[in-house]
Structures are given as structure tokens and as C-alpha cells.
């Protein structure tokens, strides 16, 4: 009897110790995740350093995210960094070299599509863990659109970056119908984020809504224009990204060269408080687009 009591006590003690270790490990993961997520949002004004640092950060954050996939700040930072890396350092260079080396440009775009898809996977997994049933609801959008879908407000940022990366993958996969077929789900996810936090990203979400409106079948240019103008209003017309987005995704689509050129010149004249990587990338793109104006009209 005494032996059994000691045995039971020992088992109970071991269970308590394991539970305690699990709790400590969870706390450590949360603390580390918070710290790494903050680094992902750190400002850097040197493009070469930013590119190298981003690659290191992506690998580090993905490793930690595999152990704590529901960690919201880390998932948001990882998804955002991967998406921005794909756009700034892979997709954009592809556009710039296409006229000299079409084969290399094609390879870069394929890589960018893979990176966008990778970002999307991280984002959607974390969204599902933080709001169970979300992916199932999104999956039915192609056949049965459900405007009543709602999103927790705290998930708006992650939903934005997930939708942006998903849209990026689709834009570079026009030869893959199964990828393009996901566009209604992307629009549904972005719409949920917009309903939760319409001003997210200082107008970045509104710009995405305008881009998606122009991209979908039967899109309404007037509705898209309202989104783009809202993005400019939110950013006080001092964000090169919002101006370049309206130029590329609206002015170009409606064949308005004067508006296209005017928006790009305005983007170059912007003086945001921080001359960060995003500002430099978008102003560099605006300059390049102006230099190749005759290729678009």
C-alpha cells in the first residue's frame, strides 16, 4: 500500500514537473516570438543591408514559428517580411531586367511566386489557429460567396499580408488556372480585413482593395478608384506606395497616361518621415516606370 502511494505520488510529481516545463517552454516561445517580431519591423534605410538581414530574419522567424504557429505578432511579421522580400528583391528586379534577359526574369518571377505562396501559407495557418473555421469559410467563396464573414479585429493585419501575398502569387501564376481560381478567396479575406480595420497600414489595405477590384472579373473601376483615393487620403498623399499602386493598378488599367505620369512624379516628390526600405523601393520603382513610360502607352 505504501509502495503504491509513493508510486502515485511520484507519477503526480513527474506530471506536475512536465506541466511546469511545458508552461516555461510556452512562455519562452512567446517571449522569443515577441522579440523576433519586433526585429522584423525594425527600420533600415540601406537596401543591401535590408536584403541580407531580411533573408536571415526569414529563416530565423520561420524556425520559431514552426514551434509556435499561432503566435500572432510573429506570424504577422514573418508573413509581411516574406511578402515584402518577394516584391522588393525578386519580383521588381524581374521587371527591370526583362528587356535584357527574359529567361532570367521568368526565373525570378517563378521564385517570387514561391515566396509569396510561402508567406501566404504562414499567414493562413496562423489565421486558422487564431480563428478556427476561417479557412473552411473562405474555401466556399468561389461557389457560394458569403458577405457575412467576419474577422476578429486583431487579425486584420495578418489577414492583409496573407491576402497581399496570395494576390502576389496569383499575379505571377497566370499560367496556372488552379492558382488563379483562388482570387475570390483572396478578395473575401481582404474584404474581411477591410471591414475590421479599413485604415490598416496607413492606406495599404485600401490600396489592396482597389487592386483586387480592378483584378476581378466584372470589377468596377469607379469602386476601385474610391479605394485608391481613400488610401491617398489616409496617407495624406505622402506615401509613394499608395501613389505607385494607383498608377499601376488604376491609371494603367484605364489607359490614362497623364494620370499615370502625374502619380509617379508625385510619388518621387514624397518626403515621408522615414526614408525606409519601403519608401526607397517604391520611389525607385516610380522612377523606373517613368523611364519606361513609352512601354506602357
Domain-by-domain residue ranges, the chain?
2-295
- Reported confidence tier of residue 37, pLDDT bands at 50, 70, 90: low
- Reported confidence tier of residue 250, pLDDT bands at 50, 70, 90: very high
Taking the C-alpha atoms of residue 72 and residue 154, their distance in angstroms, rounded to an integer, is 9
The predicted model gives 226-234 an average pLDDT of: 98
Residue 72's nearest CA partner among 139, 117, 25, 131 is: 131
**Does the structure show a pLDDT above 60 at 108?**
yes
pLDDT in the model for residue 25: 46
- Reported confidence tier of residue 175, pLDDT bands at 50, 70, 90: confident
CATH fold of 2-295 reads 1.25.40
**Does the structure show a pLDDT above 50 at 186?**
yes
pLDDT in the model for residue 28: 46
The structure's pTM equals 0.86
Lowest mean pLDDT among 28-37, 82-91, 155-164: 28-37
**Does the structure show a pLDDT above 70 at 233?**
yes
- Reported confidence tier of residue 6, pLDDT bands at 50, 70, 90: very low
pLDDT in the model for residue 5: 40
**Does the structure show a pLDDT above 70 at 7?**
no
Taking the C-alpha atoms of residue 61 and residue 199, their distance in angstroms, rounded to an integer, is 27
Select the more confidently predicted residue: 120 or 22. Answer: 120
pLDDT in the model for residue 47: 84
- Reported confidence tier of residue 53, pLDDT bands at 50, 70, 90: confident
- Reported confidence tier of residue 38, pLDDT bands at 50, 70, 90: low
**Does the structure show a pLDDT above 80 at 263?**
yes
pLDDT in the model for residue 144: 63
- Reported confidence tier of residue 276, pLDDT bands at 50, 70, 90: confident
**Does the structure show a pLDDT above 90 at 273?**
no
Q: How far separated are the first and last CA of the chain, in Å rounded?
A: 91
Task: State percent of the chain over pLDDT 70.
Answer: 82
Tell me the per-residue pLDDT of 68-101, one tens digit each, with 9 for 90 and over. Answer: 999 999 999 999 999 999 999 999 999 999 999 9
The predicted model gives 133-158 an average pLDDT of: 81
**Does the structure show a pLDDT above 50 at 182?**
yes
**Does the structure show a pLDDT above 80 at 44?**
no
**Does the structure show a pLDDT above 80 at 212?**
yes
pLDDT in the model for residue 49: 87
Amino acid at each position: 500500500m505504501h509502495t503504491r502511494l509513493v508510486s502515485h505520488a511520484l507519477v503526480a510529481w513527474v506530471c506536475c514537473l512536465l506541466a511546469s516545463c511545458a508552461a516555461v517552454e510556452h512562455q519562452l516561445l512567446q517571449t522569443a516570438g515577441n522579440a523576433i517580431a519586433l526585429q522584423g519591423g525594425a527600420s533600415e534605410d540601406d537596401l543591401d543591408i535590408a536584403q541580407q538581414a531580411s533573408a536571415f530574419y526569414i529563416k530565423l522567424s520561420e524556425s520559431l514559428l514552426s514551434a509556435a504557429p499561432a503566435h500572432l505578432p510573429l506570424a504577422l511579421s514573418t508573413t509581411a517580411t516574406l511578402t515584402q522580400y518577394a516584391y522588393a528583391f525578386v519580383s521588381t528586379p524581374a521587371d527591370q531586367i526583362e528587356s535584357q534577359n527574359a529567361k532570367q526574369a521568368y526565373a525570378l518571377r517563378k521564385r517570387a511566386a514561391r515566396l509569396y505562396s510561402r508567406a501566404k501559407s504562414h499567414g493562413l495557418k496562423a489565421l486558422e489557429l487564431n480563428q478556427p473555421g476561417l479557412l473552411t469559410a473562405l474555401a466556399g467563396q468561389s461557389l457560394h460567396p458569403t458577405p457575412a464573414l467576419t474577422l476578429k479585429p486583431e487579425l486584420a493585419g495578418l489577414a492583409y499580408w496573407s491576402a497581399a501575398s496570395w494576390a502576389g502569387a496569383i499575379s505571377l501564376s497566370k499560367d496556372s488556372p488552379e492558382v488563379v481560381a483562388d482570387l475570390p478567396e483572396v478578395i473575401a479575406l481582404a474584404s474581411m480585413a477591410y471591414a475590421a480595420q479599413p485604415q490598416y497600414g496607413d492606406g495599404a489595405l485600401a490600396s489592396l482593395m482597389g487592386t483586387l477590384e480592378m483584378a476581378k472579373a466584372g470589377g468596377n473601376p469607379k469602386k476601385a478608384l474610391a479605394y485608391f483615393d481613400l488610401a491617398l487620403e489616409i496617407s495624406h498623399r505622402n506615401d509613394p506606395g499608395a501613389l505607385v499602386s494607383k498608377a499601376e493598378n488604376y491609371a494603367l488599367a484605364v489607359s490614362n497616361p497623364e494620370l499615370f505620369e502625374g502619380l509617379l512624379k508625385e510619388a518621387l516628390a514624397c518626403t515621408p518621415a522615414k526614408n525606409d526600405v519601403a519608401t526607397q523601393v517604391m520611389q525607385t520603382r516610380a522612377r523606373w516606370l517613368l523611364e519606361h513610360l513609352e512601354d506602357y502607352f
